[in-house]
Amino acid sequence: MPIDLNAAFLPVRIAVLTISDTRTPADDRSGDTLVARLTEAGHVLAERRIVKDDADTIVARLHALIDDPQVDCIITTGGTGVTGRDVTPEAIERVAEKMIPGFGELFRWLSYQTIGTSTVQSRACACVTRGTYIFALPGSTGAVKDGWDGILKDQLDSRHKPCNFVELMPRLLER
């Protein structure tokens, strides 16, 4: 997709949440991958944190970040599968004002190119709440690469045409 090099790049302030009961800062490769990609693209890392696979804990952290004026966007990695501990989509549904179903649909289409039918196990999703975008990616580094490289890199670039999420930010709180 085309990038309008005559338009100004507007950095997005992004919080990264790794959802995991087992990862630590020392072995959070998916979080590392996401942070590297977003900072290389020129965006600002607003916060990085590891949060346990617990819906109430995730919801509380999401609300805190949504209410933080220094955060435009939250990207989570992990907790989107189908096991008993995977509760990220349920937590996001609890805070969502508007779901963005096309994100999960496109993510699974892109992921299919890499991992085939195993992509049906992903419940990647996205929403917007109180002016803040939330994108939930699976916890593998491959999934983070698919989600960032295939969708978010362009949609969070204010120069991406014909449209992008950034140009909508000033209108997200309209009533």
Cα-Cα-Cα-Cα dihedral of 60, 135, 10, 149, to 10°? 140
Spatial contact of 77 and 38, defined as CB atoms under 8 Å apart: no
Single pTM value for the model: 0.97
Neighbouring C-alpha atoms within 13 Å toward the C-beta of 87: 15
Q: Is the pLDDT of residue 85 over 70?
A: yes
pLDDT on residue 1: 62
Residue 165 in tokens: 């999420």
Any idea which residue has 């999420």 for tokens? 165
88-131 pLDDT, tens digit each: 999 999 999 999 999 999 999 999 999 999 999 999 999 999 99
Neighbouring C-alpha atoms within 13 Å toward the C-beta of 150: 20
- DSSP E strands, 78-155: 98-99, 125-129, 132-137
Q: What are phi and psi of 148, to 5 degrees?
A: -75, -55
CA distances from 92 to 1, 158, 161 (A): 29, 25, 28
The rounded mean pLDDT for the chain is: 96
In whole angstroms, what is the distance from residue 8 CA to residue 84 CA? 44
4-45 pLDDT, tens digit each: 989 999 999 999 999 999 999 999 999 999 999 999 999 999
